[in-house]
Structure 1
Amino acid sequence: MLMRGPGIGLDIGSKKIKMARVKKVGKQVQLVKYGSIATPEGSMEAGNILDPDFLGEHIGKLARELKVEGRAVASAVSGQQIYIRNFVMPRMKASELKEAAIFKATEFLPIPVEEAAIDVFPFRQFEDGSGKKTEVFFVAARRQQVEALDEVCHIAGLKLKTAEIEPLAIYRVMNLNEGDKIIGLLNIGASRSHFSIFKQGLLTSLRSLPLGCSAFYRNIRGGGPKEDIHLEEIDANEDNDYSYLVRDIMSELARSLEYYEMQNAGETVETVYLCGGGSRLKNLDKYLAAGLGRRVNILEYASVLAWPALVTEREQWELQRDYTVALGLAAWGGI
């Protein structure tokens, strides 16, 4: 994880596949090229790859279009079967820490450790009355998911260099100056959303939420499918055919915040950042802020990412909502 990243991020969503390439420029990364294609129907479901061959062939077309075939990429595993936990271990050699953490995971991991792809990151060392300790960040996914992702990349003519989870990629490009504050991150995808919480820059909570912006296109109460709507034209603050969907976002987010703050007495999530396709909704940040009684902002990363001169303001607006995961993956190892 400490090696220099490939500079190419591959974000495979349930409705759209996005790829971005960046290069290091001083303390920033600069966008070099980007592109997307529709996710082939039947190849993905709830973050799980169903047809690696079909999916890989389509991604290969995008790779050739962007002239990145044969290169290494960073990508992400997603879905409900991602497991994270922070816990404290006795201090030990780095070579022994992962093995000890995996053994401890047998106490809480809902799948056999043999079926999991696991990574462990020590992030704090301290000493208390019982001795020297190390606090670690533990993340696991089903090994089958990672192997399927590797196969997809191979079929596409790409080399999977690293597979991580989406919140870590997003946090990498966030323009934050929050110090020791606790912040939330709501990534509203097409079919599902993910709400994560970071404390002092460390991921402490991750929940998958049963809502996505595809519901606005289906909108059964509003008269059926409407493929020609633009989310940025729907005002979350106004009473309209989509108000019940906006209320669903509010309800799910409020429940997630309440659960976290009940489980972590004395801790308050002060600010929630929005990203993903659903953040296109007009005034969604203002609507949620009023209902939750805390700051809600659209995620921005201008201090981290440099835009090429040819990228228009409208394209920047689109990229900041649709390409955050791909850009964060591309920046892996670079910032």
Structure 2
Amino acid sequence: MKLFRAKSRQYEMIGVEFTDEGVALAHIERVAGQPPRLVHAEFIPCEAGVAVARLREKLSSLNLKARQVTVLMPREGYQLLLGEAPKVPAEQRNEALRWKVKDLVSFPVADAVIDSFLLNESCSRGGVPMAYVTVAPRKDVAQVVADVKDAGLEMVAIDIPELALARLVDNSMDTTRPVALVHLVAGGGTLVMVKSGELYLARNFKLDYNGGLLDDIPTEPLMLELQRSLDYFERQLRQAPASQILLCGENVSADKISEDLQAGMGGRIGLLDLIAVVSKSPDIEEHVQSLCMRALGAALREEAVS
């Protein structure tokens, strides 16, 4: 599945992510021949029950009602599974996968929304292609659709955080050689591997990191999680080692990358450079950006724009 490239025209896109702590919002403008511009980014702290109303109020104050939006599925609202793709025509793959994963999900698969994409053929096992499949309860997808409508936006796509993060990498650098992006939040993180503009690996993990301004990144546990992911990428998917390992997320800064972490990762580790992804308004604070990374990745999606 190609991560989405620039089109030769001007348009806007909003990315939205609902979390347990609030709503992340990113507003992108694109003009042909120029890098995308992050016009506004904001995290609105609030309880889940009032999130839609707070988002609607904010959009109204910014004069952004009725704009197109890519919204992210809440992390607890879907499962992302990796396995062998069934040998059926492409138009039948999702339905075939529905029954292939029925024992791997925690809800009735008959009432699930299924989507999938194939990994690059270099990841095949014994000639059998591998596929990622996203499985979500239909009621949860319907709730996301209703929330977007209630907020006064025009939904063009529902995305998942893993693809949003991979899009940040693909928009910021050459991925001819594999690049890993690690997004850290309080309690855990997500690692994605991108090569030649395609998502090859996505993995979520737990980590004793509180996400505060003064909280250190636990070096040894993070190195263990990184090594597990990189070993799987190299040995099971038979890919070359990552050329770079980029960090981003809640209050992730250069001073939190310890010498031990650098040494343990062979000097390949650094921060995601947001300036390489977008130009941005000067009034957007670094802390706010760190809370809106996945929303920004959603706003960079272009395939669904008409």
Fold similarity call, TM over 0.5: yes
Instruction: Indicate the residue corresponding to 1:145 in structure 2.
Output: 140
Query: Structure 2, unaligned stretches of length 5 or more?
Result: none
Equivalent of residue 20 in structure 2, options 2, 8, 14: 14
For 1:177-205, what per-residue CA distance to the aligned partner results, in whole angstroms no more than 9, with x for missing partners? Answer: 131x3332211123432222334433233
Instruction: Indicate the residue corresponding to 2:68 in structure 1.
Output: 72
For 1:49-72, what per-residue CA distance to the aligned partner results, in whole angstroms no more than 9, with x for missing partners? Answer: xx4xx2212222222222222333
Residue identity matched to 2:16: L
Shift of 1:303: 4.3
Change in CA separation of 1:171 and 1:19 when aligned onto 2, cut-off 3 Å: same
Instruction: Indicate the residue corresponding to 2:39 in structure 1.
Output: 32
Instruction: Indicate the residue corresponding to 1:222 in structure 2.
Output: none
For 1:116-137, what per-residue CA distance to the aligned partner results, in whole angstroms no more than 9, with x for missing partners? Answer: 32212356679x9x99x87654
Secondary structure in structure 1 of the residue aligned to 2:113: strand
Question: Quick check: 1:14–1:191 contact (8 Å CA) kept in 2?
Answer: no
Instruction: Indicate the residue corresponding to 2:94 in structure 1.
Output: 98
Change in CA separation of 1:282 and 1:83 when aligned onto 2, cut-off 3 Å: same
Shift of 1:9: 0.6
Question: Quick check: 2:119–2:199 contact (8 Å CA) kept in 1?
Answer: no
Residue identity matched to 1:329: A
Secondary structure in structure 1 of the residue aligned to 2:204: strand
Question: Quick check: 2:41–2:288 contact (8 Å CA) kept in 1?
Answer: no
For 1:99-150, what per-residue CA distance to the aligned partner results, in whole angstroms no more than 9, with x for missing partners? Answer: 3343444475554322432212356679x9x99x876543223334322322
Secondary structure in structure 1 of the residue aligned to 2:59: helix
The answer to whether residue 260 in structure 2 is matched with residue 297 in structure 1 is no
Equivalent of residue 79 in structure 2, options 82, 87, 91: 82
For normalisation by structure 2, the TM-score amounts to 0.76
Query: Structure 1, unaligned stretches of length 5 or more?
Result: 44-50, 218-230, 235-241
Residue identity matched to 2:31: V
Question: Quick check: 1:8–1:74 contact (8 Å CA) kept in 2?
Answer: yes
| Poorly superposed stretches of 4+, deviation over 6 Å | none
Equivalent of residue 188 in structure 2, options 172, 189, 192: 192
Shift of 1:88: 4.0
Equivalent of residue 167 in structure 2, options 172, 188, 199: 172
Instruction: Indicate the residue corresponding to 1:237 in structure 2.
Output: none
What percent identity do the matched residue pairs reach?
22
Residues 234-245 of structure 1 correspond to what in structure 2 (within 5 A)? 234=214, 245=218
Instruction: Indicate the residue corresponding to 2:226 in structure 1.
Output: 253
Secondary structure in structure 2 of the residue aligned to 1:173: helix
Aligned-CA RMSD value:
3.7
Question: Quick check: 1:286–1:296 contact (8 Å CA) kept in 2?
Answer: no
Question: Quick check: 2:12–2:30 contact (8 Å CA) kept in 1?
Answer: no
Aligned-partner Cα distance in 2 for 1:287–1:279: 16
Aligned-partner Cα distance in 2 for 1:89–1:268: 28
Secondary structure in structure 1 of the residue aligned to 2:207: coil
Instruction: Indicate the residue corresponding to 1:274 in structure 2.
Output: 247
For normalisation by structure 1, the TM-score amounts to 0.71
The answer to whether residue 296 in structure 2 is matched with residue 327 in structure 1 is yes
Residue identity matched to 1:178: T
For 1:296-333, what per-residue CA distance to the aligned partner results, in whole angstroms no more than 9, with x for missing partners? Answer: 121124344233xxx33x84644653332222211211
Equivalent of residue 200 in structure 2, options 197, 204, 208: 204
Aligned-partner Cα distance in 2 for 1:22–1:278: 22
